[in-house]
């Protein structure tokens, strides 16, 4: 390939990526908005039982059928978005922010802080996740917030490591040296030079993590450790309906499809963000 | 290298202390104990004296720190204690369940590698053509389905509908490991595939590939030599992350398929508050973690001379 | 390159197919042998069933269920005792019993099972099994040919009921407890291999004293996961299953399978917390509230809809198939009346949130239950909805550690559990465990002088008819002031392939595999 063509191709690629970015960002925002306004937009009360209507297949009146208590599945799925999407976003935000800060400080200051924090993160990583989640659930009771806590404690090292690695790489770079010569102190260094540059990979990691975290939360709810009935959450809806996979499949498939579509959307968004940050690895 | 490895292995000791102490503490704080759980299961009505006697026999009436120290002491002498539930020695129980988990891990990894490397490369080489889209879509789907869902679907289709595989495992055999391994492999392949593809694409865009093509080197040779090597590095990184959870036994999958491995053992032990087994499991996980990290680091150094010849230590 | 990839992919697929070939298949009659595979959810150490030795924990249950051991008497579906290994049991005086063994009873190894063998067995039992020893209160025994005389330490009207418990399986003590756990009993099947938490292998007892055993081999497999159990039965890997979840029943409601169902005495019921230090005392001590709660629970709706009819509504603590379950009465589901009662008692919704208040106390109750019995969470959610309709708020605490919580008198208002209330065909155990001052599980602190008096009477009544009358009175005590309420009884089902015969469900679920078992 010749050089000029390369530049033009890259420009076209970048435009295409930008379009995709907007599309997926839009979809993601729609999902978040749906979660936010879930209570307002549901056709039925997701917790209203009506035993005479139990286990109805999907129909005009009940778009996704009803569950064993006669509750409208579609309403529960929409409200479940609130639990699943919000909790996941909070989880990812908290762990990424905390992990990044800790990792950056470690990478920048090194020495004592570094070894202590790295050992702590080792313990967090070496401790089997499931045992920890089960223990937290037994300890603090079930519930989404406790599931989020359990996953947060296990997940922050990931970001810390990325941040640390990136910081270490940057620490020895030229412009950082220049800034130091210019008299910036540590805080300013981190704030102005390091953080902005590592935000890219962190953001990508975070975006790609959303899908995984959503499934982990669903998994915990599936095991009965996260959302407790009668709360509507996709994981525990699937768990509750799992025995009826063959007889009343819509009970499992509806939340399953919801998880799937949401995760796919955020995964696609994450991929596009990564492509945007680094067009060389674009997957046009 | 040796010095480094030894140093890392020594770090294992404080980690083990911390982890076992934490797990013991959390389990105690979680309340209830094996005597109560057993009573629960049998809805038995036993007198308070019998309950107290049972507790005393297991040492559950003593304060938490004393229990922990007692356990440590026994461990130092090589005695891992007996399971509170089955009264069988912990070590032999653990060792008897290990092969099942190892087999499952091995077969899952094998399936994953066999699927994701060829498909990942194929996808990269045919970038943006139909094959690429199909494979990427499949990968997305695999990445977005929770594994408990996948296992139920697989069981439904392959065991009931098609009758190709048994629903319940008949001992540790290839036949029985197929479905659980497929379940795990699907999720793992989806992840690995994308990474392989990205790595291969990355390598393909490098100048040396153009150069080799220009010089008339057969594409396949270039592929095999350098691109594969690069993908291997990626795969190894991913394996590090996966192996910890695989060797810990993927509890959900093991339970659903009644696969008698270490993960299922752990979940059952936690539910029953069977402390000795939980401690053994937790230690095992920590050991794997340190060992795997060590091996990865060492193989990195081996595979990538840039690091070996003097980069910053991680 | 492409060739290499193609070959790799083909190898994959080939490996997959090869490893899968000959997967699940039906273990029916292979050749001339009849092999029966039974799926059970409870044969594991967690359920205190680590093996089939009746003198160990609860392992008597698999011993009798899988046809290895048999007891002196059998508990019939109406709760009465029928002869099994024993021909008769009479009590000579309050502390002496005379048991006459049937003639011709033999262990599977050919040895005679006479009074001496039974005595040896029981001696070992009370030596090693604390719970049995506590129940039986045996002081001494004498064996003479077919006659066994038992003297108890104190009057024990239900000695024979206790001896019909699974730990009362008669095993050959000369063989004792072998290392492989395969105890020798008198039953139609002989255990050849016992693996805890996994399976039991059995062969037919060629020396069976009570008829011809039709099936040659049996394997009992532990499958604790409900979905796996259902799928295993569907795919034919097991011939029958015990412990199937209701949700899976529709899969088997066709010509390929059949059900054997019966009402059991496993009851889903609740007790009220009367402790004064309970923050909810002001609520629960109000008889109007308790009555309204009893009237606000839709038992029929619960059974018909949530359990899809797989249950029986309950009035008292015992099913009406038992003599002591007949003739009790309580309030029925009447939300309008319940609202009126609350209104009249001063519980009014002043702030329009749908929940009543009185003197600043919100009518909110904490419902404690646990998940291991599938019906309980369903019942809790159903009650939560119907009670909300009459203005009572229910907070559900569905936890595995419910036993810890119920011991804390401040932590709950209603405790709902599942219990086999008359597992031995006798009502005494229920009251002794849950309703008296001396009860271990009277966590609600319920007290009634009248009940205590009746309990003393029950403990010394030897005539079953009289026992029934007293038990009815005691239940009425509990129901009249709504301190206890009973929602439904479990309908226990065994599901089997259509060609299986001789597998019948019984009220007392000790009896599963028998000589009648056959695969056509």
What is the full per-residue pLDDT of chain A (284 aa) written as tens digits? 445 556 666 677 778 788 888 888 899 899 899 888 888 888 888 887 776 677 888 888 888 888 877 888 898 999 988 888 888 999 999 999 999 888 888 887 777 888 888 888 877 877 777 777 777 776 676 678 888 888 888 888 888 888 887 887 777 777 777 777 777 677 776 777 777 777 878 888 888 888 888 888 887 777 767 777 678 888 888 877 777 777 888 888 888 888 888 888 888 888 788 777 775 544 43
User: Does residue C475 surpass a pLDDT of 60?
Assistant: yes
Which among A217-231, A269-283, B118-132, C408-422 has the top mean pLDDT? C408-422
CA-to-CA distance for A175 and B128, rounded, in angstroms? 38
C320 in A contact zone (CB under 8 Å): no
pLDDT in tens, A112-131: 888 888 888 877 877 777 77
Residue with tokens 């899988």: C66
Q: What is the mean pLDDT of residues B172-196?
A: 84
Q: pLDDT confidence of B149, banded at 50, 70, 90?
A: confident
Closest residue, chain C, to A241 (C-alpha): C247
Based on the number of CB atoms within 10 Å of its own CB, is B311 exposed (0-12), middle (13-18) or buried (19 or more)?
exposed
Is the model's pLDDT at B219 over the cut of 80?
no
Angstroms from B163 CA to nearest CA on chain C: 5
Residue B308 is predicted with a pLDDT of 47
Measure the N-to-C terminal CA separation of chain A; round to a whole number of Å. 18
Q: How many CA atoms lie within 13 A of C69 on its CB side?
A: 30
Instruction: Answer for the pair C273, C445: CB distance below 8 angstroms, yes or no.
Output: yes
Distance from CA of A49 to the nearest CA of B (A): 26
How sure is the predictor about B249, in pLDDT bands with cuts at 50, 70 and 90?
low
Q: Does residue C397 surpass a pLDDT of 60?
A: yes
Which residue shows structure tokens 């089960």? A134
Contact B23 A131 (CB under 8 A): yes
Are residues B164 and C9, on separate chains, in Cβ contact within 8 Å?
Answer: no
SS3 B182: helix
Nearest to B254 by CA among B242, B266, B243: B266
Mean pLDDT (whole number) for B88-117: 89
User: Which tokens sit at C299?
Assistant: 């038992």
pLDDT higher at B248 or C52: C52
Q: Give residue C195's pLDDT band: very low, low, confident or very high (50, 70, 90).
A: confident
Which residues on chain B are in Cβ contact (under 8 Å) with A223? Answer: 252
Residue A48 with chain C: CB contacts under 8 Å: 385
Which residue of A128, A136, A168 is in closest CB contact with B285? Answer: A128
CB contact under 8 A, C384 and A247: no
Please state the rounded mean pLDDT for residues B250-277.
81
Whose tokens are 């051991």? That residue is: C69
Contact between residue C311 and residue C488 where contact means Cβ atoms under 8 Å apart? yes
pLDDT at C1: 47
Of C226, C247, C298, the CB nearest to A247: C247
Tally A–C CB contacts below 8 A: 48
Is there a contact between C227 and A243 if contact means CB atoms under 8 Å apart?
Answer: yes
Q: CA–CA separation, C469 vs C465, rounded Å? A: 6
Q: Do B143 and A218 touch (CB under 8 A)?
A: no
Among residues A43, A102, A109, the alpha carbon closest in space to that of A74 is found at A43
**What residues have CB less than 8 Å from A60, skipping those under 6 apart?**
none
Q: Taking CB atoms and an 8 Å cutoff, what residues of chain B touch A260?
A: 141, 144-145
Where is pLDDT greater, at C475 or A43?
Answer: C475
Token reading at C428: 């005494």
Over residues C443-452, the mean pLDDT reads 92
With a cut of 70, say whether residue B294 has pLDDT above it: yes
Do C401 and A138 lie within an 8 Å CB cutoff?
yes
Dihedral sign of CA atoms A113, A118, A124, A126 in order: negative
Query: Chain B partners of C227 at a C-beta cutoff of 8 Å?
Result: 152, 155, 256
Which pLDDT score is estimated for B125? 81
| Token pair in block for residue C215 | 């099936």
Closest Cα of chain C to A120: distance in Å?
31
Shortest distance between the Cα of A138 and any Cα of chain B, in A, equals: 5
- H/E element holding B47? none
Contact A139 B286 (CB under 8 A): no
Q: How far is A136 from chain B (nearest CA, A)?
A: 8
C-alpha to C-alpha distance for B149 and B256, rounded to whole angstroms: 11
Q: Is A55 left (phi over 0), alpha (psi -120 to 50) or beta?
A: left
Instruction: Determine, for residues C231 and B163 on separate chains, whether the beta-carbon distance falls below 8 Å.
Output: no
Q: Judge whether A278 and B202 are in contact, CB under 8 Å.
A: no
- Interchain contact, A229 vs C247, CB within 8 Å: no
Question: Positive or negative CA dihedral for B84, B85, B89, B95?
Answer: negative
Using alpha carbons, list the distances in angstroms from residue B117 to B124, B191, C168. 10, 11, 62
C384 touches chain A (CB under 8 A): yes
Per the CB < 8 Å rule, is B286 touching A127? Answer: yes
Question: Most A CBs within 10 Å: which of C385, C393, C394, as the mutation test of the A interface?
Answer: C385
Contact A211 B14 (CB under 8 A): no
- A touches which chains (3+ CB pairs under 8 A)? B, C
User: For the sheet containing C86-93, what is the strand order?
Assistant: C86-93, C96-101, C147-152, C138-144
- Chain A closest-CA separation from residue B285 CA (Å): 6
Does A281 contact C at CB distance below 8 Å?
A: no
Q: Which residue of A has its CA nearest to B267?
A: A131
Return the minimum-mean-pLDDT range out of A262-271, B255-264, C271-280: B255-264
- Whether residues C227 and B271 touch (CB distance < 8 A) is answered with no
The answer to whether the Cβ–Cβ distance between B38 and C48 falls below 8 Å is yes
Q: For the segment A217-232, what is each residue's pLDDT rounded down to a tens digit?
A: 887 777 767 777 678 8
Cα of A167 vs its chain's centroid, Å: 23
Please judge whether A134 and B270 are an interchain contact, meaning their C-beta atoms are less than 8 angstroms apart: yes
CB pairs under 8 A between A and B: 120
Q: How far apart are CA B249 and CA B267, in angstroms?
A: 10
ipTM higher than the 0.85 cut: no
> What does DSSP say about strands C29-30 and C33-40: parallel, antiparallel, or unpaired?
antiparallel
Compare B237 and C56 and report the one with higher pLDDT.
Answer: C56
Q: Does the pLDDT value for residue B310 go beyond 70?
A: no
Judge whether C309 is closer than 8 Å to chain A, CB to CB: no
pLDDT exceeds 70 at position C20: no
Q: From the CB of residue C359, how many other CB atoms can be counted at a distance below 10 Å? A: 7
């Amino acid at each position: 390939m010749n050089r000029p063509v390369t530049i033009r191709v890259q420009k076209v690629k970048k435009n295409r990526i930008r379009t995709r970015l907007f599309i997926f960002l839009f979809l993601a925002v729609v999902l978040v908005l749906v979660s936010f306004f879930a209570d307002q937009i549901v056709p039925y009360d997701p917790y209203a039982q009506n035993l005479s209507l139990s286990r109805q297949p999907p129909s005009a009146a009940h778009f996704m059928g009803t569950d064993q208590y006669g509750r409208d599945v579609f309403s529960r799925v929409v409200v479940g978005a609130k639990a699943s999407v919000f909790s996941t976003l909070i989880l990812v935000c908290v762990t990424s922010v905390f992990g990044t800060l800790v990792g950056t400080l470690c990478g920048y200051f090194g020495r004592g802080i570094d070894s202590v924090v790295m050992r702590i993160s080792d313990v967090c990583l070496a401790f089997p996740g499931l045992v920890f989640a089960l223990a937290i659930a037994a300890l603090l009771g079930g519930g989404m917030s406790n599931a989020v806590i359990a996953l947060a404690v296990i997940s922050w090292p990931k970001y810390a490591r990325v941040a640390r690695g990136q910081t270490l790489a940057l620490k020895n770079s030229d412009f950082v040296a220049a800034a130091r010569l210019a008299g910036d102190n540590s805080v300013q260094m981190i704030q102005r030079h390091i953080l902005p540059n590592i935000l890219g990979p962190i953001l990508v990691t975070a975006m790609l993590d959303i899908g995984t975290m959503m499934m982990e939360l669903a998994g915990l709810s599936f095991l009965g450790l996260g959302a407790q009935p009668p709360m509507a959450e996709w994981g525990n809806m699937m768990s509750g309906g799992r025995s009826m996979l063959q007889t009343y499949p819509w009970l499992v498939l509806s939340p399953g499809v919801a998880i799937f579509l949401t995760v796919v959307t955020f995964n696609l968004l994450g991929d596009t963000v990564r492509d945007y940050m680094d067009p060389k690895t674009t997957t046009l | 290298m040796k010095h480094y490895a030894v140093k890392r292995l020594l770090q294992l000791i404080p980690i083990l202390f911390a982890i076992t102490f934490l797990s013991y503490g959390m389990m105690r704080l979680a309340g209830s104990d094996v005597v109560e759980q057993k009573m629960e299961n049998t809805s038995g009505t036993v007198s308070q004296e019998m309950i107290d006697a049972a507790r005393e026999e297991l040492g559950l009436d003593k304060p938490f720190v004393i229990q922990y120290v007692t356990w440590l002491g026994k461990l130092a002498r090589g005695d891992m204690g007996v399971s509170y539930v089955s009264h069988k020695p912990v070590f032999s129980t653990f060792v008897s369940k290990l092969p099942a988990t190892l087999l499952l891990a091995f077969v899952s990894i094998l399936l994953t590698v066999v699927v994701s490397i060829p498909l990942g490369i194929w996808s990269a080489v045919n970038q943006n053509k139909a094959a690429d889209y199909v494979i990427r879509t499949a990968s997305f789907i695999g990445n977005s389905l929770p594994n408990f869902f996948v296992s139920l679907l697989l069981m439904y289709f392959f065991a009931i509908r098609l009758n190709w595989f048994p629903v319940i495992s008949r001992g540790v055999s290839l036949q029985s490991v197929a479905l659980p391994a497929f379940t795990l492999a699907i999720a793992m392949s989806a992840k690995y595939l994308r990474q392989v593809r990205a790595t291969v694409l990355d390598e393909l865009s490098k100048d040396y590939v153009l150069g080799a093509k220009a010089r008339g080197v057969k594409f396949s040779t270039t592929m095999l030599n350098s691109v594969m090597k690069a993908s291997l590095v990626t795969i190894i990184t991913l394996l590090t992350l996966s192996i910890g959870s695989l060797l810990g036994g993927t509890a959900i999958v093991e339970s659903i398929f009644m696969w008698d491995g270490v993960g299922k053992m752990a979940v059952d032990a936690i539910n029953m508050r069977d402390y000795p087994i939980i401690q053994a499991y937790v230690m095992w996980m920590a050991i794997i973690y340190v060992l795997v990290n060590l091996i990865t680091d060492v193989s990195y150094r081996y595979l990538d001379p840039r690091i070996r010849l003097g980069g910053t230590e991680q | 390159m492409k060739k290499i990839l193609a070959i790799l992919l083909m190898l994959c697929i080939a490996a997959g197919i090869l490893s899968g070939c000959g997967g699940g298949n039906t273990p029916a009659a292979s050749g001339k042998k009849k092999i029966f595979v039974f799926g059970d959810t409870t044969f594991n150490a967690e359920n205190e069933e680590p093996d089939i030795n009746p003198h160990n924990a609860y392992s008597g249950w698999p011993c009798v269920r899988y046809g290895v051991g048999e007891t002196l008497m059998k508990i019939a579906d109406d709760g009465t005792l029928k002869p099994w290994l024993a021909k008769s049991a009479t009590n000579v005086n309050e502390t002496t019993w005379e048991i006459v063994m049937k003639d011709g009873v033999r262990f599977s190894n050919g040895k005679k099972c006479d009074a001496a063998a039974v005595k040896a067995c029981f001696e070992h039992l009370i030596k090693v099994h604390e719970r049995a020893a506590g129940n039986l209160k045996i002081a001494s025994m004498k064996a003479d040919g077919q006659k066994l005389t038992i003297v108890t330490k104190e009057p024990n009207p239900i000695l024979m009921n206790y001896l019909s418990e699974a730990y009362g399986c008669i095993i050959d003590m000369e063989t004792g407890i072998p290392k492989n756990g395969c105890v020798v009993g008198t039953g139609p099947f002989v255990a050849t291999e016992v693996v805890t938490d996994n399976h039991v292998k059995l062969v037919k007892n060629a020396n069976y004293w009570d008829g011809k055993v039709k099936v040659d081999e049996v394997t009992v497999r532990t499958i604790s996961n409900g979905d796996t159990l259902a799928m295993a039965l569907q795919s034919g890997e097991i011939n029958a299953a015990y412990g199937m979840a209701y949700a899976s029943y529709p899969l088997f409601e066709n010509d390929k399978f059949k059900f054997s169902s019966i009402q059991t005495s496993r009851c889903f019921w609740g007790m009220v917390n009367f402790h004064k230090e309970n923050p909810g005392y002001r609520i629960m001590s109000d008889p109007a509230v308790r009555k309204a709660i009893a009237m606000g629970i839709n038992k029929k709706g619960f059974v018909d809809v949530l359990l899809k009819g797989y249950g029986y509504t309950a009035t008292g603590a015992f099913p009406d198939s038992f003599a002591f379950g007949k003739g009790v009465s309580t309030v029925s589901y009447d939300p309008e009346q319940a609202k009126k009662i609350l209104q009249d008692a001063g519980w009014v919704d002043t702030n329009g949130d749908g929940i009543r208040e009185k003197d600043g106390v919100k009518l909110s109750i904490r419902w404690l239950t646990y998940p291991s019995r599938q019906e309980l969470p369903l019942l809790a959610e159903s009650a939560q909805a119907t009670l909300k309709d009459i203005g009572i708020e229910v907070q559900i605490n569905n936890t595995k550690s419910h036993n810890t919580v119920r011991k804390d008198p401040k932590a709950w208002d209603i405790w709902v559990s599942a219990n086999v209330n008359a597992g031995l065909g006798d009502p005494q155990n229920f009251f002794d465990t849950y309703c008296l001052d001396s009860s271990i599980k009277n966590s609600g602190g319920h007290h009634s002088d009248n009940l205590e008096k009746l309990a003393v009477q029950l403990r010394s009544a030897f005539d079953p008819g009289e026992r029934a009358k007293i038990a009815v009175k005691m239940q009425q005590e509990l129901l009249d002031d709504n301190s206890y309420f009973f929602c439904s009884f479990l309908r226990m089902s065994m599901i089997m392939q259509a060609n299986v015969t001789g597998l019948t469900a019984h009220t007392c679920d000790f009896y599963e595999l028998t000589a009648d078992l056959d695969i056509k």
